[in-house]
Amino acid sequence: MNFLSPGLLWALAALAIPILLHLFYFRRFRKVEFSNVRFLKEVKEETQNRSRLRNLLVLFLRLLAFAALILAFAQPFLASDETAEEETASVSIFVDNSFSMSAQASDVSLLQKAKQRALEVVRTYPQQVEFQVITNELTGASQRLLSQEDALAAIDDIELSPDSRVANEVFARMQQVHANEYQIPAYIISDFQRSQFEQTGWNSDSVLSAKLVPISAVVERNVSIDSAWLGQPVQLAGEPIDLIVRLTNHGTEDAEAVRLSVRANGRQQPFGTMAVTANSSLTDTLRLASVDPGWVDAVIEITDFPVEFDDKYYLSFSVRNKLKVLSLNDGPLSPYLASAFPSGGAIEIESQRASNVNYSSLSTFDLIVLDDLKAVSSGLVQSLTSYMNDGGKVLAFPAADVDESSFNKLLSAAKISSLGSFSESEQTVGKINTNSFVFKDVFERSPRNMRLPTTKGRFQLSDARSEVILSYRDGRPFMIGNQLGLGFLYVSASPLSPKLNDLVRNGEVFVPMLYRMALSGAAAQPVAYTIGANQTASFPSPKAEEAALILVGKNGEFIPIQRTIRNRILLSFGAAPKEAGFYKLQDSQDSTIAHIAFNFDRQESPQTFLSEAELADTGLDVFTGNATGSLEAALQSDVNGKAWWPYLLMLGLLALLIESLVLRFWRPERGKVAMAKAV
């Protein structure tokens, strides 16, 4: 038998007080006159014997009651075989502070209830035990053991976090601290969301003795904004912006009126309400009014309770004033290209001779057109290849007398088959690939009677490794394209010269083709990044090579991991930042390079949890109870073995009850009076 508070056993000395009172208690007698005292001695002796027996019984019951209460407060327990075998020196506690713990359990959040459970665990163990407190952040502080006082303070400081860990990650961190120990108690306090715990093998190893403490929410429902993206890769000033948003109802009940609004650069644009059926997703397009050129910080927001971390979606994108197209040629700018892009339009065209190219300016253009070049120098091939790898787009029209070997070097870089022989025969384009981005959604209906280009000379092109955009009636490709890095290379089988190709006279095909090619590609930055997803972003290198780029937001600033490749700098965000919102990417001169939006991971959005039966199937100890009940008794039994204080408390109360009955119904005086009357 052991005691949690053995110091209270000194209170047993107080049992001497009722004994002393009993020994020195003198009863006062009343003088009663009798006419005949012949039998008085016999009555007196009998009454004293009964009174002495009654008083001894009352004394025993009082001593028993006080002793039982004192022992109960000392909290005796019978140690189990495991507890008696080795005394616990350290304990690990994991408190799940992921976003799903923001749900409500009765009148408090799940996180508050989890912290309460953790505090109960700490207080259950003796003061000499050390504790490891772990949360989803897995910070360096979780690598050391804390005293009981420090552990209580660390638990009080726990707040919600965007991080989410599976059980094996938590167990691995615990095992690092207790690597040379055996069967260390490890408490996992969580709502046990399926996305976080279902795919784990529950491998706690022999180092840990895992104990699961489930915390359940009152209502399991949630509507989230899963994602949002733009309808076009490039946004132009003066044109409306198509914003596509996807909502998901993770609950089992239909969400009839989800209020949705968009705030772009501080200007609110309400879009009414949306209905999302249970366990389904809904995708819709929101059309924003045109905005001025520059960066746009937009946030989409819905009204949903109680889980609110996924009710906002931040996105940043740039709005361009114009698209810029560069024509590289061996002579003056083609009048047909110039007429395709009149001044004052959305596309601005510039001309340079291929023999005098300003290589440093290539990155400023959205599309480069090779206008009937007879040769492509090795320097130009290298510059165009780098330009396309970084997201640029090139449209190549080879001249009829082109130097095929130099031109094929450019095609080889994009893994496009070499040019074949040139033949002068009239051919008509017979098919437009409307599934290609170049012509997708350009025509309201299928262009059956549309006048298509006709050529009087063409090169043989192979479509084995390329996407066919336009094809002749005989099935051979007229225009093909292939991706190179982040950009594209488009190649025509016929020169651009109107003597051999009337494509330039076909405005309903030529103009939208150039426009969409300038818009195509993956060069545009993502409109949003996910916190903790370890994504990367690519930007032009700052002028000062040694200067580090920095992200600045309302909640602070941080320097992302960065490395330079050629003229680009790659940024890795890792687990930073910790707060969703808008951040400015700045150089050492505090000049803003870009706006970047960060959102919390939606992994915690589905409100599905492991049941108590599923947790029991893991083979680990599971401490169950309602949302407000205390687990202290169960923990005491688990930590210290079988507790005897409840039985002692009941014994003390029983002794007091018997004492009151004895005092009420056993009175020796009645016997004395009865005998006196008999006389």
For residue 193, the domain's CATH number is 3.40.50.410
> What CATH number is associated with residue 363?
3.40.50.880
Question: Does one domain contain both 452 and 556?
Answer: no
Question: Does one domain contain both 437 and 574?
Answer: no
* In 489-594, alpha helices (H): 507-519
Q: How confident is the model at residue 613 (pLDDT cuts 50, 70, 90)?
A: confident
Question: Does one domain contain both 374 and 512?
Answer: yes
Torsion sign, CA atoms 325, 330, 333, 337: negative
Q: How remote is the C-alpha of 453 from its chain's centroid?
A: 52
According to DSSP, the β-strands at 621-622 and 642-643 are unpaired
Query: In the prediction, which pLDDT does 132 show?
Result: 92
Query: In the prediction, which pLDDT does 648 show?
Result: 78
* In 537-667, alpha helices (H): 612-616, 632-640, 645-665
446 has a pLDDT exceeding 50:
yes
Q: Which residue has the tokens 């948003």?
A: 245
Taking CA atoms, 416 is separated from 327, 372, 480, 513, in Å, by 22, 18, 9, 20
25 has a pLDDT exceeding 90:
no
The helix (run of H) or strand (run of E) holding residue 172 is helix 167-177
Check: CB of residue 512 under 8 Å from CB of residue 499: no
As a whole number, mean pLDDT of residues 71-81 equals: 66
Question: Does one domain contain both 454 and 587?
Answer: no
- The domain in which residue 466 lies consists of 323-519
Output 637 or 207, whichever has higher pLDDT. 207
User: Distance between CA 548 and CA 490 in Å, rounded?
Assistant: 36
Domain boundary among 300, 320, 340: 320
Question: Does one domain contain both 135 and 254?
Answer: no
Mind listing the pLDDT tens digit for each residue in 286-320?
988 878 888 999 999 998 877 888 999 999 998 88
- Comparing C-alpha atoms, which of 372, 336, 334, 335 is closest to residue 354? 372
Question: Does one domain contain both 306 and 330?
Answer: no
Q: How confident is the model at residue 673 (pLDDT cuts 50, 70, 90)?
A: very low
Q: How many domains is the chain partitioned into structurally? A: 5
Question: Does one domain contain both 122 and 199?
Answer: yes
98 has a pLDDT exceeding 80:
yes
User: Distance between CA 553 and CA 584 in Å, rounded?
Assistant: 6
Query: In the prediction, which pLDDT does 546 show?
Result: 59
User: Distance between CA 89 and CA 86 in Å, rounded?
Assistant: 9
- Comparing C-alpha atoms, which of 61, 23, 27, 63 is closest to residue 47? 27
Residue 536 domain-assigned?
yes
What tokens were used for 160?
A: 């919600």
Residue 374 domain-assigned?
yes
Output 12 or 34, whichever has higher pLDDT. 12
Residue 246 domain-assigned?
yes
User: Which phi and psi angles does 285 have, rounded to 5°?
Assistant: -110, 125
What pTM did the predictor assign? Answer: 0.71
Taking CA atoms, 279 is separated from 222, 248, 283, 469, in Å, by 10, 7, 14, 39
Question: Does one domain contain both 618 and 662?
Answer: no
Domain boundary among 320, 339, 366: 320
What tokens were used for 462?
A: 């192979």
Mean pLDDT over each residue of the chain, to the nearest integer: 81
As a whole number, mean pLDDT of residues 200-210 equals: 68
Query: In the prediction, which pLDDT does 282 show?
Result: 92
Q: Which residue has the tokens 């904004």?
A: 225
Q: How confident is the model at residue 678 (pLDDT cuts 50, 70, 90)?
A: very low
Residue 524 domain-assigned?
no
Torsion sign, CA atoms 32, 36, 37, 42: negative
As a whole number, mean pLDDT of residues 535-563 equals: 79
Q: Is 268 buried (19+), middle (13-18) or exposed (0-12) by CB count in 10 A?
A: exposed
Mind listing the pLDDT tens digit for each residue in 225-246?
999 998 877 788 888 888 999 9
The helix (run of H) or strand (run of E) holding residue 269 is strand 267-276
Query: In the prediction, which pLDDT does 622 show?
Result: 85
- Comparing C-alpha atoms, which of 387, 365, 380, 363 is closest to residue 329? 380
As a whole number, mean pLDDT of residues 519-523 equals: 60
Question: Does one domain contain both 453 and 334?
Answer: yes
Mind listing the pLDDT tens digit for each residue in 568-579?
788 888 777 888
Domain boundary among 285, 320, 355: 320
User: Distance between CA 258 and CA 247 in Å, rounded?
Assistant: 10
Question: Does one domain contain both 384 and 466?
Answer: yes
583 has a pLDDT exceeding 90:
yes
Residue 177 domain-assigned?
yes
Question: Does one domain contain both 674 and 620?
Answer: no
> What CATH number is associated with residue 311?
2.60.40.10
Question: Does one domain contain both 316 and 327?
Answer: no
